[in-house]
Amino acid sequence: MAEITDSQLQAIITAAIVSKDRAYCPYSHFRVGAAILCEDGSIYSGCNVENASHGLSVCAERVAIFKAVSEGYRKFKAMAVACDTMGEQASCGACRQFFVEFGTDWDLYIVRQNRTWKKVPVLDLLPMHFGPSSLQEERVKLE
């Protein structure tokens, strides 16, 4: 796993909490903020953005990844995710699949209300995942 410093961890936690306050969630009222730490130390944050056509809503985690990727980043060290629940709320399945698209050797920090956190390796979030390497596996020859 990619190691991060305490100051980097505190920076992504703060960015996730700040982003949570920007969430657009008039339907669920479930605010989420996320911040991703890129390999070079850059940080990109995002919040959830809902839509009346619910299927078009986008989670905070994916918004943060979209922003990082749109700036040319593909390698990540960690992500912090914050929401308003009192306990630990892990990312949805779609976000987990998105995480493994960019590798499994980085960590998710689930941030509680008191700024404490639980560290979870991305690989543990989606075991037996389908990722880019799955498309390179040998296949049955069709005739």
Q: Mind listing the pLDDT tens digit for each residue in 16-42?
A: 999 999 999 999 999 999 999 999 999
Looking at every residue in the chain, the average pLDDT score rounds to 94
**Three-state SS for 133?**
helix
pTM over 0.85: yes
**Catalytic member of 50, 61, 88, 101:** 61
**Residue 129 buriedness (CB in 10 A; 0-12 / 13-18 / 19+):** middle
- Please tell me the predicted confidence (pLDDT) of residue 20: 97
The verdict on whether 61 is a catalytic residue reads: yes
